[in-house]
Structure 1
Amino acid sequence: MIRKLQAVALDCADPVRLAEFYAGLLGGRVVADPEEPQWVEVHGFEGTPLAFQRADGYRPPAWPDQERPQQLHLDFDVDDLDAEEERALALGATVLERTDQIRPGANWRVYADPAGHPFCLCVH
């Protein structure tokens, strides 16, 4: 029987850079093993730890193009969508879709992290 989800791992070209982005976004800390530079984790926030793995020839997803699909995305609960968007953008995120502006009543927005992985900020 599986006890728990240990981590969610994302492929990328620069695991340290991506870990730093998510550590800043989530208030976590980067955990890196100098003996294993291909793998970096972020711990110290509520939820499942995130891990970042160097992938040679990494190509980011192209939102919403299915030729290079997202494969997965992360959703984060927030209290203040505008404030958290500002913080995410300052850390290096880019807006992919202002869902709340094109879908009346939508309570989420879609972004890309610095490696191109989509994630959503959602008002719970």
Structure 2
Amino acid sequence: MTVPKTSVLILDCAEPEPLARFYAELLGATAGPATGNGELFLVTGRTGTVLGVRRDPHHAPPSWPLPEESQQAHLRILVAADSLDEAEREAVVLGARPVAAEEDGTRLDNRTTLRRFTDPAGHSFVIAAVREDPTPLTGWRP
């Protein structure tokens, strides 16, 4: 028998509370401290915890998209294909910075199917269009 488990992606940054609020607003979730010391904040949506943000006073953001640097890890936020432009506007209004990328061949009806960004602390994420409703967690394929 396998022990029940769950997982969450944790992003390191110098100031976790503002970054947790950024993702909570972007994802329509809530953010709050996981511990009393403010070192870890959890972003929680209707399906449970979706992201953690941890204080690291020595954090240096990745220099992606420079070709010689690794992206390390990134968050992929799924939206309906017809909502891609609106999701991009929401992200930018909240403080995301668009990242230009070379053509990668991902097209949907002659439109790019994903948009690349860095969050206010410099972590990379993409907003990706999917052909089906992205809200159910069961049955979707990346």
| Counterparts of 1:98 and 1:65, CA distance in 2 | 10
2:42 counterpart residue number: 41
SS of equivalent residue, structure 2 residue 24: helix
Q: Quick one: which amino acid aligns to residue 122 of structure 1? A: A
| Counterparts of 1:88 and 1:122, CA distance in 2 | 13
2:119 to 103, 113, 116: 113
Between stretches 11-20 and 63-72, larger displacement belongs to 63-72
- Do the aligned partners of 2:43 and 2:49 also contact (CA within 8 Å) in 1? no
Q: CA deviation at 1:69?
A: 2.9
SS of equivalent residue, structure 1 residue 4: coil
- Do the aligned partners of 1:5 and 1:48 also contact (CA within 8 Å) in 2? no
- Do the aligned partners of 2:11 and 2:54 also contact (CA within 8 Å) in 1? yes
Identity %: 36
1:57 counterpart residue number: 58
Q: Alignment RMSD, CA only?
A: 2.1
- Do the aligned partners of 1:60 and 1:68 also contact (CA within 8 Å) in 2? no
| Counterparts of 1:53 and 1:77, CA distance in 2 | 23
Q: CA deviation at 1:31?
A: 1.6
Structure 1 residues 91-111: Cα deviation after superposition (integer angstroms, max 9, x where no partner): 000001266xx3451411111
| Counterparts of 1:98 and 1:48, CA distance in 2 | 30
1:31 counterpart residue number: 32
User: Which TM-score applies when normalising by structure 2?
Assistant: 0.76
User: Which TM-score applies when normalising by structure 1?
Assistant: 0.86
Q: CA deviation at 1:70?
A: 2.5
How many residues of Structure 1 are paired with residues of Structure 2 in the alignment? 122
- Do the aligned partners of 2:13 and 2:55 also contact (CA within 8 Å) in 1? yes
Structure 1 residues 12-53: Cα deviation after superposition (integer angstroms, max 9, x where no partner): 011001000000000000121562211111102446521111
Q: Does structure 1 residue 83 correspond to structure 2 residue 86?
A: yes
* Unaligned segments of structure 1, at least 5 residues: none
Between stretches 20-29 and 90-99, larger displacement belongs to 90-99
